[in-house]
Amino acid sequence: MHRGKGMTFVGDSRIPKRGKFIPPKDYSEYPGKTEAFLPNFLLKEWMVGAVFLIGFLVLTVSEASPLEAEADPTKAGYIPLPDWYFLFLYQLLKYPYAAGDYKVIGIVILPGLAMIALLIAPWLDRGPERRAARRPIATGLMLLSLISIIYLTWESSVSHDWAKSEEQGKIVKKVDIDKSSEGYKIYSSQSCVNCHGENLEGKVGPALVGKNIPAQLVEKVAVNGIPPKMPPNAFKGSDKDLKTLAKFIEKVSKK
Positions 136 through 165 that interact with other proteins (CB under 8 A): 138-139, 142, 146, 165
Return the number of the residue (107 or 217) whose C-beta is nearest other proteins: 107
Q: Residue 100: CA atoms inside 13 Å, Cβ hemisphere, count?
A: 4
For the segment 104-133, give every residue that binds other proteins (CB under 8 A).
Answer: 104, 107-108, 115, 118-119, 121-123, 125-126, 128-132
Count of residues in contact with other proteins, rule CB under 8 A: 84
- SS3 of 193, please? helix
Reduce the DSSP state of residue 146 to 3 states and report it: helix
Which residue among 3, 6, 19, 65 contacts other proteins (CB under 8 A)? 65
- Per CB under 8 A, contacts with other proteins among 69-98 are 69-73, 75, 78-86, 89-90, 93
How far apart, in whole angstroms, are the C-alpha atoms of residue 201 and residue 175?
9
Query: Amino acid identity, residue 226?
Result: I
**Alpha carbon distance 233, 36 (integer Å):** 80
- 254 three-state secondary structure: coil
Nearer to other proteins, 1 or 38 (CB): 38
173 lies in the site for other proteins, by CB under 8 A: no
Q: What is the dihedral of CA 230, 233, 235, 236, to 10 degrees?
A: -150
Stretch that binds other proteins, among 3-11, 52-60, 197-205, 228-236 (CB under 8 A): 52-60
Taking CB under 8 A as the criterion, the residue among 60, 159, 180, 212 binding other proteins is 60
| Minimal distance, residue 192 CB to other proteins, in Å | 22
Choice between 65 and 180, CB closer to other proteins: 65
Q: What is the sign, positive or negative, of the torsion defined by CA atoms of 210, 212, 214, 219?
A: negative
For other proteins, give the closer residue by CB, 28 or 180.
28
Position 115: which residue type?
A: M
CB of 87 to other proteins, least distance (A): 11
Instruction: Pick one of 9, 41, 102, 162: the residue that binds other proteins (CB under 8 A).
Output: 41
57-to-48, 63, 98, 99, 191 alpha-carbon distances in Å: 14, 10, 40, 41, 49
16 phi and psi angles, rounded to 5 deg: -65, 150
Span near other proteins by CB under 8 A; candidates 62-70, 216-224, 236-244, 247-255: 62-70
